[in-house]
Structure 1
Amino acid sequence: MKLTPTDFGGAMAVDSYGPGFFRVGRTVYHGPVLVTATSAGAWGGLDDRTALMALAGQVDVLFLGMGADVAHAPADLIAALHKAGIAVEPMASPTAARSYNVTLSEGRRVACALLPL
């Protein structure tokens, strides 16, 4: 079977991840990371709501990686993001990274905020 590489059209994709790190656009980030089509950087985790709220008007969906396992995100955070027009999908970080990449490859306005494994 011939594999065809995914073309992200220059957008930032999550290249890989492992215990405590994420590799995005060939740069390794230790700890939580916030990734959009145009940027990636360290994120302060679930307490850093300012960075997530700044996505309003830029993204339609935020894949929220909760670490190694699926966990509930704070209800007030989800409500605030919904009020700002951002749909939030909490899931395990590996699933969030893959979902972000697939949705990004479709040209959609997405971001992912990932807690480390």
Structure 2
Amino acid sequence: MRLNEVVYTDAMPIEGYGPGFFRVGGEVHQGAILTGPSGTHGWGGYDDLHRLSSLAGQIDVLFVGTGSEIAHVPAPFRATLEEQGIGLEVMSSPSAARTYNVLLSEGRRVALAMLAV
């Protein structure tokens, strides 16, 4: 079997998470986060559309982790992303982290917004 080293580009992978925190690229971040090509930042949740606007043209898909359980996202949040041409995939935060890491390792244009578990 041939093994290839995974090389991440500008964005950093999710390395771990726990109650109220995420570890991204060796740094621990408390609360909800937004991570992608422009780095990792705190995220104010579904009403924090300003940070998402900066992703237009940089990503094709935004994964949203809704905490420990999958939940619907508000319609205005979904509409804003659609207007910007950004695809949206909603899942639990653990699933979103795993999916994001896999697609990031493939060099895909993705970002991740996660609510804490």
Same fold (TM over 0.5): yes
Q: Deviations over 1:33-85 (max 9, x none)?
A: 00103411111111111111221111110000111100000112111101101
Letter in 2 for 1:6: V
**Secondary structure of the equivalent of 2:46?**
helix
- Separation in 2 of the partners of 1:3 and 1:24? 24
Corresponding position of 1:73: 73
Which ranges in structure 2 are unaligned for 5 or more consecutive residues?
none
Letter in 1 for 2:24: V
CA drift of 1:3 comes to 7.6
Identity %: 51
Which ranges in structure 1 are unaligned for 5 or more consecutive residues?
none
Runs of 4+ in structure 1 off by over 6 angstroms are 1-4
Q: What RMSD over aligned residues (CA atoms) do the two structures have, in Å?
A: 1.8
Letter in 2 for 1:52: L
**Secondary structure of the equivalent of 1:81?**
helix
Give the paired residue count.
117
Corresponding position of 2:84: 84
Q: TM-score, normalised by structure 1?
A: 0.91
